Chains A and B, each alone.
Chain A
Amino acid sequence: MSLQFGIPLFIIAALLQAAVLSHLRVYGGQPDLIVVIVLAWSTLDRDREGMIWAFVGGLFLDLFSGAPFGISSLALIPIAYFIGLTEAQVYRTNIVLPLMLTLAGALAYHGLYLLLLRFFGGVSLSWSEALGYVTLPSVIFDVILVIPALRLLSGWYTRLHPRQVKI
């Protein structure tokens, strides 16, 4: 993802997340737009871009949060790294696999975020309460959101990274 496309995308996503999506809470969960974009891009790009945008996206998330600055990046970068380890362009062959990756990625992100929040922010939440009230509704939102996100971003990805064919 190029800078002139990525930065405005994450600015808009962060603004929407802070001002609009935070009003759409079901139980305590809300759609994590930036997390979804990072997970979708990491699914599409198996090189380093997913991790770089995980770093940038996490910083934008933390701009509008009371959490220690950098905590979301720290939670997102390993997820982007591990998604990049999965084999081949799964999205092109099967839609179920990216959904499973998003499910696992979003769950891992929330788990890591809670751990880091406890370690760096001193906020200790009950795991069972957090899981039932916030994590699961958020993850369901994310899995639903990733389908349109993949459709939109895969178009951009193909434009930015055209397939090279040897003649």
Chain B
Amino acid sequence: MRRESRRLLTFGVLLLLTLGLLGLGSRLSIIRPLISAVTLPLSPIARLLTGGTETIAGLSTPEEDPEVLKARNRELEKTVAEMQVEIVRLREIERDYYRLSGLVNYTTQHPDENIVTANVISRDTSSYLRWIIINRGARDGIKVGNPVISDLGLVGRVEKVAANLSWIRLANDPASLINARTQESRAEGIVTGLLQGGLRMDKIPQTQLMDVGDLVLTSGLGGMFPADIVIGQVTNVSKPPAELFQTAEVRPTVDYNNLDIVSVITAFIPVDTSVFDEQIQATPNP
């Protein structure tokens, strides 16, 4: 067989094989155990490399001018003092809240959340996606759709699960969609990820008031995430008069580039939206 024909044949066979793999992966999900079998032995090495890289990255922070550091220190001391006042004030509010809720016989029901803690093994090899892989999987009770958090707020959502590994789509992935609301104004919208790594809150009705500095939380609508997990803080609001919706730039509280340990919520009670279903059913058809 001529060399060119041989090459063309190899090209065709490889393309068909790859398309077959893509089909298997997306339709039957039977490819995941194979992937897990290959990836799992590599995960301790990946974890070691990731840890080492993060340490080196931390060490390589350039030295700064002592005067700048002193000024920053003074600024931080001032912030800490302000925060302490804020904590005292919030504790007062908390006490009031519990007292009032007892008075009106309003009981808060906190869902029993089961949490699995995991180490981040690696980040996505593709520059276009913002995913991480963690060293816990189906054997630890993790399922597709489980929310993932860190001590600072929302991290993302489990998208793929193997026996001992899970693939997490971070909140700043361009394909991520999270129902959110602001803490102060209760303005609702959808938080999406940006290729540049930040977040954008979109589909906020023009009538809602938005302020820079508002905290953005999960709204819990849709049942994908528990309500009131911190996502970030509004840094800029864009309200074009001709548009139906306003948008806001959101600075995430979580540093997605330096995730080390995350927690997967394997069980939570989603926001009850059945009242809307009943209303829809009760509405007569025109």
Contact = CB atoms under 8 A, between A and B. Distances in A.
Interface of A: 11, 14-20, 22-23, 25, 28-30, 32, 34, 47-48, 51-52, 54-55, 58-59, 61-74, 77-78, 81, 84, 113-114, 117, 120-123, 125-126, 129-130, 133-134, 138
B159 to A, nearest CB: 6
B14 A15 contact: no
B7 A84 contact: yes
Nearest to B39: A63
Given A18-B122, A69-B21, A55 B53 contact: no
A70 B16 CA distance: 11
A114 B128 contact: yes
Most buried by B among A58, A63, A64, A78: A64
Contacts of A120: 22, 26
Contact of B127 (A28, A51, A70): A28
Interface in B11-37: 11, 14-15, 17-19, 21-22, 25-26, 31, 35
Interface string B64-88: 0000000000000000000000000
B10 interface: yes
Interface class of chain A by DSSP? helix
B128 A125 contact: yes
Given A48-B6, A51-B14, A65 B124 contact: yes
Contact of A16 (B11, B49, B169, B197): B49
Contacts of A121: 175
B35 A65 contact: no
A68 B26 contact: yes
Contacts of B91: none
Contacts of B11: 51, 77-78, 81
Given A22-B122, A55-B14, A69-B21, A15 B127 contact: no
B269 interface: no
Given A15-B45, A81-B7, A133-B196, A70 B122 contact: no
A15 B122 CA distance: 8
Contacts of B129: 65-67, 117, 123
Contacts of A19: 45-50, 53, 121-123
A67 B19 contact: no
13 contacts: A15-B49, A18-B46, A18-B124, A23-B123, A25-B257, A28-B195, A48-B6, A51-B10, A52-B10, A55-B17, A55-B18, A67-B129, A81-B7
A52 B14 contact: yes
Interface of B: 3, 6-7, 10-11, 14-15, 17-19, 21-22, 25-26, 31, 35, 38-39, 42, 45-50, 53-54, 57, 121-129, 131, 133, 159-160, 167, 169, 173-175, 195-197, 257
Contacts, number: 158
Contacts of A113: 126, 128
A75 B185 CA distance: 46
B195 A74 contact: no
Given A19-B49, A23-B53, A48-B10, A67 B126 contact: yes
Most buried by A among B7, B17, B38: B7
Contacts of B14: 51-52, 54-55, 73, 77
A114 B127 CA distance: 11
B46 A65 contact: no
Contacts of A138: 127
What are the 6 A-B residue pairs with the smallest beta carbon separation, nearest first?
Answer: A66-B131, A19-B49, A18-B122, A70-B21, A69-B25, A70-B22
